[in-house]
Amino acid sequence: MKLAGVNAASEKRSPLTPESIKKLKGLGYDVAVEPGLGAGAGFSDSVLESAGATVTADAASGAELVLASGVLADEAVSKLARGTRLVGVLNPYDHAESLASYANAGVDAFAMELMPRITRAQSMDVLSSQANLAGYKAVIDASAHYSRAFPMMMTAAGTVPPAKVFVMGAGVAGLQAIATARRLGAVVSATDVRAAAGEQVESLGGTFIFVKEAMEEGEGTGGYAKELTPEQQKAQQELVAEHLKKMDVVITTALIPGRPAPKLITAEMLAGMKPGSVIVDLAAPRGGNVDGEAEGVTILQPDNILDGLAGEASNLLARNFLSFVTLITDKEGGKVHVDPEDEIIQGIQLTRDGDVVHERFLK
């Protein structure tokens, strides 16, 4: 069996690492990688070769499985053999047109970020593994742009007050942002429309800021928040607007699957913030949670914040891929076996035998 690692030109994360290559070979795979596959993550071609991979420009040729950390160009997809299984971070919501490319090429595509949030799939959950790092990096980036210190300091020249950090959205990224800001000594508060998030925020030492009317219906499917009604949005915005006036650093993380990112901070809210404050908008790739700008407020809206942590992001991502590949590998028969009735397969398979099969993307 042949397994290949390929990637989008702009993606620094690697779907394969020396560790995962060795384990994939133990499953019976011959592993091939494109030249430079791991360069952005700190893995040279020679390091991947030492782990057992073959480095070749036509890595995907004849491969039964192809792993990718980013969305491949249509030209790259067209070169894959019919029946190839493409497993990757394929971003189908923002690249729905790619599904036609997969179907036309006869490629069976699997989007790892659609992984169902069930116990059996936890080790394959790329969203959680990457969001953890994103929440951490958001605070680190904010601290680099904030012109003051995060922790309280007692000095002979006077006391340095702690930074006030506000995290909007207490999912995986938000909780890690809270934990990181607390470790740096900041006073942290957070908000979320999911009632269950309150206890999690407080367990990390944060103060939970909430609007009861919005939380009553804020719980969505799969642990995600759902879109609020206009009345709920108004109540939430009024609370947030007052709280923002006191904040030094704000991290926004709110996303709704398949929808544009909700606008949590308006231009009017920004105008009320303190000069020198910093916002990191982790929802920027899906339109952002921040709408507008204001003098004296630094707004960071990274397209891919994990470019700055590509090595560690690759380590986690490769383990997610390895867990999924292990699931679909018939160890006794030495073949790839995809069970269309498996809950995990049903959750992430986009195309099969030339057709789009995922219910969210059927027209």
| Catalytic positions, written as ranges | 117, 122, 125, 128, 224
Alpha-carbon gap, residue 54 to 327, rounded angstroms: 24
> Is 49:70 a contact under the CB 8 Å cutoff?
no
Tokens at 231, concatenated: 């009345």
User: Interior CA angle at 44 toward 43 and 49, to 5°?
Assistant: 100
DSSP code, position 219: B
Q: Can you name the residues that pair with 349 across neighbouring β-strands?
A: 110
List the one residue out of 115, 61, 123 whose CA is nearest residue 318. 123
- Contacts of residues 322-326 at CB distance under 8 Å and 24 or more positions apart, as own/partner, are 322/20, 322/23, 322/24, 323/123, 323/124, 324/87, 324/110, 324/112, 324/124, 325/3, 325/24, 325/27, 325/29, 325/65, 325/67, 325/87, 326/27
List the one residue out of 112, 18, 4 whose CA is nearest residue 336. 4
Helix ranges restricted to H, 302-342: 310-327
List the one residue out of 13, 12, 16, 14 whose CA is nearest residue 3. 16
How far lies 363's CA from each of 11, 40, 202, 355, 359, in Å? 30, 37, 43, 11, 9
Which residues fall within 8 angstroms of residue 75, CB to CB, at 6 or more apart?
Answer: none
- Classify residue 9 by burial, with Cβ atoms within 10 Å: 0-12, 13-18, 19+: exposed
Longest dimension (CA), the chain: 72
